[in-house]
Amino acid sequence: MGITLRDVVLTYPDGDDRIRALDDVDFTAERGRLSAVTGPSGSGKSSLLAVAGLLTVPDSGRVELDGDDLTGASRAERTALRRERLGFVFQQSNLLPSLTATEQLLAITHLRGRRIRADRDRARGLLTELGLGTHLDRRPHQLSGGQRQRVAIARGLMNEPSVLLVDEPTSALDEDRSRQVVALLADLAHDRNVAVVMVTHDLGTLDLVDEVHEMHSGRLTSGSRVNVSE
């Protein structure tokens, strides 16, 4: 399964009127696949990510996570779901300057009220898997832009989510590092059976993803399946 939006409408006030940020959107991202959402600025991509991440409640429609209908979930329930079943990678890495790469990941488990040795081992294992085995104790200013983004991706995986939501992960990277990051996201989706949803303006990396969706004026106008892994 993964994440599904059904007939989702999201509006925002605009003077005496309301703007439809999402206009009857149907969207599904399956486990084991990297889905890209493209479109011009203001088309609704970030709104789709916010609804999928349970950060914003739509005016109408349903959000389903691994088949569970989350319509009517309370704020506390949404918070728990974000903490336990969703992972996030933001446009900026948002790493805490005083923490090492390992400590960035452990901060996630601390938010869940856990402090156990296994979490440190898992954090170091994730960073090593993402090519940062020699950078475990480095702080953000000691890392390159691509390395900081890898730490952010590892942090998003720390709670073993079923869905990883990624917002413009290549916006601050050059072409080569952008392709490395997107290829990494594709590998993680396939190897870990995670549904990865990536909002992006970077059309040069779309050959690396499994599925492409385009948004225009709040509508998901088309989607195409890409069989790059076959």
4-15 pLDDT tens trace: 999 999 999 988
Q: Domains plus CATH for the chain? A: 2-96+147-225 (3.40.50.300)
Q: What is the predicted pLDDT for the residue at 172?
A: 82
Does 2 have pLDDT greater than 60? Answer: yes
Read off the pLDDT of each residue in 52-78 and give the average, rounded to a whole number.
95
pLDDT in tens, 164-206: 999 999 888 899 989 999 999 999 999 999 999 999 999 999 9
Euclidean distance between CA atoms 153 and 159, whole angstroms: 12
pLDDT at 225 over 60: no
For 2, phi and psi rounded to 5 degrees?
Answer: 160, -135
Residue 163 contacts residue 29 (beta carbons within 8 Å): yes
Q: Which residue has the higher pLDDT, 184 or 225?
A: 184
Confidence (pLDDT) at 94: 85
pLDDT at 230 exceeding the cut of 70: no
Model confidence at 229: pLDDT above 50: no
Edge-to-edge strands, sheet with 219-225: 86-89, 163-167, 195-199, 34-38, 211-216, 219-225
* pLDDT tens profile 83-125: 899 999 988 788 999 999 999 999 988 876 666 788 999 999 9
User: Residue 85: its pLDDT value, please?
Assistant: 94
User: What pLDDT does 227 receive?
Assistant: 45
When the pLDDT of each residue in the chain is averaged and rounded to a whole number, the result is 91
**Beta-strand (E) ranges in the chain?**
2-14, 17-30, 34-38, 60-65, 68-69, 86-89, 163-167, 195-199, 211-216, 219-225
Whether 181 and 170 have beta carbons less than 8 Å apart is answered as: yes
Task: Report how far residue 143's alpha carbon sits from residue 132's, in angstroms, rounded to the nearest whole number.
Answer: 10
Mean pLDDT of 142-147: 92
> Which residues, listed in sequence order, are joined to residue 220 by a DSSP beta bridge?
215
If pLDDT is split at 50, 70 and 90, which confidence band does 228 have?
very low
**What does the alpha-carbon distance between residue 227 and residue 222 come to, in Å, rounded to a whole number?**
17
